[in-house]
């Protein structure tokens, strides 16, 4: 009896509908944890772009960017009286020694850091960016949508040709996108207690996520009207 119950549970877990539900739930949890609702936070429309002479910060290690320590970045920027611009969103594949961030003095006078301060700031920024061998849903807003899109694309491949599964995946993606539209997407400015801009994080905006969900499926499913 126990074996029968276990096999029944296993069958339910490996059903595509169950898997899609789990992925969608992970996306909702990540969004709730990492993003602000549009109605809950003030909208700082103006986010300055890095000046031409901004200092470059390179990645310490290779792999997927899996986590950004926002509080460590905020503390480092406040200590150096700097603005830190993280150029790569969580989920990006980065290579050691390649630029991932920029920083510049927050006073806006066009000055520069001392060598010692710049070296310490670079060390703090690099240490706040964690890499791994695979993407995770911990902070990666787009990871779940990538998984849903992979299901759709595989279902549309000539070797499988399963438009029903593709439609299930697209329905899950559509519902998730509608939910994400209620959050503040795109670059995330982080300000200190004095409302001074200290950190700008790269994050996908709604057009980025829409392109992720629709780009490949609209190519591979172009010949199927139901898709």
Question: CA 206 from chain center: how many Å?
Answer: 12
What pLDDT does residue 223 have?
66
pLDDT above 70 coverage of the chain, percent = 85
What pLDDT does residue 13 have?
45
Task: Please tell me the number of Cα atoms within 13 Å of 188 on its side-chain side.
Answer: 23
On whether the CB atoms of residues 204 and 185 are closer than 8 A, the answer is yes
Kindly report the number of other CB atoms within 10 A of residue 109's CB atom.
7
Averaged confidence pLDDT in the chain = 86
Edge-first strand listing for the sheet containing 129-132: 93-94, 63-68, 129-132
Res. 9 pLDDT band, cuts 50 70 90: very low
Q: Are strands 93-94 and 197-201 parallel, antiparallel or unpaired?
A: unpaired
pLDDT in tens, 41-69: 666 556 788 999 899 999 999 999 999 99
Taking each continuous run of H as one helix and of E as one strand, the counts in the chain are 7, 8
How far apart CA 145 and CA 172 sit, in angstroms, is 9
How far apart CA 15 and CA 211 sit, in angstroms, is 27
pLDDT in tens, 78-88: 999 999 999 99
State pTM to two decimals.
0.85
> What average pLDDT does this structure show over 5-9?
44
> What average pLDDT does this structure show over 22-46?
83
CATH top class, domain 55-132 = alpha beta
How far apart CA 162 and CA 190 sit, in angstroms, is 44
pLDDT in tens, 114-168: 899 999 999 999 999 999 999 999 999 999 999 999 998 888 887 767 788 888 8
Better pLDDT: 113 or 8: 113
On whether the CB atoms of residues 122 and 59 are closer than 8 A, the answer is no
Give the DSSP H or E segment for 86.
strand 82-86
For residue 4, pLDDT over 50 is answered with no
Taking CA atoms, 176 is separated from 84, 149, 218, 220, in Å, by: 31, 12, 18, 21
Residue-wise over 44-83: b if at least 16 C-beta within 10 A, else e? eeeeeebeeebbebebbeebbbbbbbbeebbbbbbebebb
What pLDDT does residue 119 have?
94
How far apart CA 95 and CA 97 sit, in angstroms, is 6
For residue 8, pLDDT over 50 is answered with no
pLDDT above 90 coverage of the chain, percent = 64
> What average pLDDT does this structure show over 158-180?
87
What pLDDT does residue 91 have?
96
């Amino acid at each position: 009896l126990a074996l029968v119950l276990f096999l029944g549970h296993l069958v339910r877990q490996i059903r595509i509908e169950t898997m899609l539900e789990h992925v969608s739930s992970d996306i909702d949890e990540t969004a709730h944890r990492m993003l602000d609702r549009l109605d809950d936070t003030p909208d700082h429309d103006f986010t300055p772009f890095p000046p031409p002479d901004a200092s470059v910060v390179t990645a310490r290690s290779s792999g997927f960017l899996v986590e950004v320590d926002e509080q460590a970045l905020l503390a480092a920027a406040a200590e150096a009286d700097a603005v830190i611009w993280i150029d790569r969103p969580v989920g990006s594949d980065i290579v050691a020694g390649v630029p991932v961030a920029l920083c510049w003095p927050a006073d806006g006078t066009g000055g520069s850091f001392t060598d010692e301060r710049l070296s310490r700031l670079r060390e703090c920024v690099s240490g706040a960016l964690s890499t791994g061998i695979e993407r995770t849903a911990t902070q990666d807003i787009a990871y779940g949508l990538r998984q849903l899109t992979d299901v759709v694309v595989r279902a549309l491949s000539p070797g499988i040709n399963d438009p029903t599964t593709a439609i299930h995946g697209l329905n899950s993606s559509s519902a998730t996108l509608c939910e994400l539209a209620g959050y503040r997407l795109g670059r995330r400015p982080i300000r200190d207690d004095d409302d001074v801009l200290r950190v700008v994080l790269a994050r996908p905006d709604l057009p980025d996520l829409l392109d992720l969900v629709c780009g490949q499926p609209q190519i591979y499913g172009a010949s199927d009207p139901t898709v």
